[in-house]
Structure 1
């Protein structure tokens, strides 16, 4: 399989990284990429080296140190920096976290960052926040987050963040880390992924509303 999957056409490009435990073509990533492409976003999915090796030999590996992942993501930005229109970076969970670190550094190659299910802290460990770099963002950042996400529920995040800075959080009602709501809501994972895709396109178009956390 190619190292990148590209779909959709439109005036902007999103470089989209996978999470720690699933590849770029997981069911979740397929749904998300399709939803974004429907919103006229050119989506470029790619895999970090450790995941490519797992695909080759079937052996599960943990992600390497963040510095290595950041370097690999930066190389992907290099490959697509000449795309017509603005280039955004982002990802699912760990992929979004790595993108957010890059968004905290001055980099004129990127226009913004979009995270889907940001891992604010490890589940059950709300004393270990992964937000120290949020004060250093140099581009706008959008986080699509389920209100029940064990990596950062709405009540926890709102109590932790002040709302200052270029961060917009779009809350997906009753969604968990993969945006799955409870059946009792009458809403499906596909519904929330589609909503996140629409919100992402609106944010890119400058229609993101108040920007409240």
Structure 2
């Protein structure tokens, strides 16, 4: 079952699209990045697959995206929107895994402890701006304070898996994937196989949290 709701926040109206499990035991709330929406291939695949495993998936569109803007606001404003959404995400009374891709992953990490998230899913965590490894955002990831899974493309210009520091999190690699988990045609795995890698890694990690 899928339904959408508008949620007012101090940063504007946000939208949650619920992909409900029949017998849910947890909610996975996932927001998009600064350059796209919930139509991202990884978000669509998770929403399609996980409800069968008892995971209700809530795909979250931040207020700036709902308002039709093309550029994301400052991180503090993104955090404000996420905080405002949280009561709606927690309303089913289930543990909530806070997640996002790219900029959304940073939001999830920064706010996890404050909001009482049970865990964090960070898809394509932007460890640093492309070509600027000295501008590391590792402190956000390392400070999440809850069980965390990072799913990272092997060729992500925002941070390859081998650039990530050691820390209290799990890292799953999507071989040859870029920041959007796209793989080149010459890669030894297909695009569908890359997406399957994401879904399998996230599904196994969530199951282990139970």
TM-score bracket for this pair, using the shorter chain length? 0.7 to 0.9
Q: Describe how 1:47-196 pairs up with structure 2 within 5 A.
A: 47-54=61-68, 60-103=69-112, 105-108=113-116, 110-157=117-164, 161=165, 163-165=166-168, 167-196=169-198
In the superposition, relative to structure 1, how do residues 71 and 86 fare at CA in structure 2: closer, same or farther (>3 Å)?
A: same
In structure 1, how many angstroms separate the alpha carbons of the residues matched to 2:36 and 2:115? 28
1:43 equivalenced with 2:50 (yes/no): no
Output the CA distance in 2 between the equivalents of 1:125 and 1:84. Answer: 41
Alpha-carbon distance change, 39 to 174 in structure 1, aligned in 2, over 3 angstroms: farther
Is the Cα contact below 8 Å between 1:106 and 1:138 reproduced in 2? no
**Which residues of 2 match residues 192-203 of structure 1 at below 5 A?**
192-203=194-205
Structure-1 separation of matches of 2:58 and 2:191: 22
SS at match of 1:184: coil
Please state whether the residue corresponding to 2:64 is helix, strand or coil: helix
- For this pair of structures, how many residues does the alignment match? 195
Compared CA separation, residues 194 and 84, structure 1 to 2 (3 A): farther
Which stretches in structure 1 are left out of the alignment for 5+ residues? 55-59, 208-213
Q: CA deviation at 1:95?
A: 0.8
In the alignment, the residues of structure 1 paired with residue 155 and residue 51 of structure 2 have an alpha-carbon distance, to the nearest angstrom, of: 26
Q: How does 1:2-13 map to 2 (within 5 A)?
A: 2=5, 3-9=15-21, 10-13=24-27
Distance 1:18 1:32 in 2: 13
Q: Which residue of structure 2 aligns with residue 211 of structure 1? A: none
Contact 1:32–1:194 (8 Å) recurs in 2: no
Given that 1:149 and 1:177 are in contact with CA atoms closer than 8 Å, whether structure 2 keeps it comes out as yes
Change (3 A) 1:133 1:116: closer
| Cα distance between partner residues in 2 of 1:89 and 1:121 | 21
- What residue ranges of structure 2 are gaps of 5+ in the alignment? 6-14
Q: For 2:106 and 2:96, how far apart are their aligned partners in 1? A: 17
TM-score calculated relative to the size of structure 2: 0.83
Corresponding position of 2:8: none
Q: 1:8 to 1:184 in 2, by over 3 A?
A: farther
Q: Structure 1-normalised TM-score?
A: 0.82
CA contact (8 A) 1:36 1:198 kept: no
Alpha carbon RMSD of aligned pairs, Å? 2.1
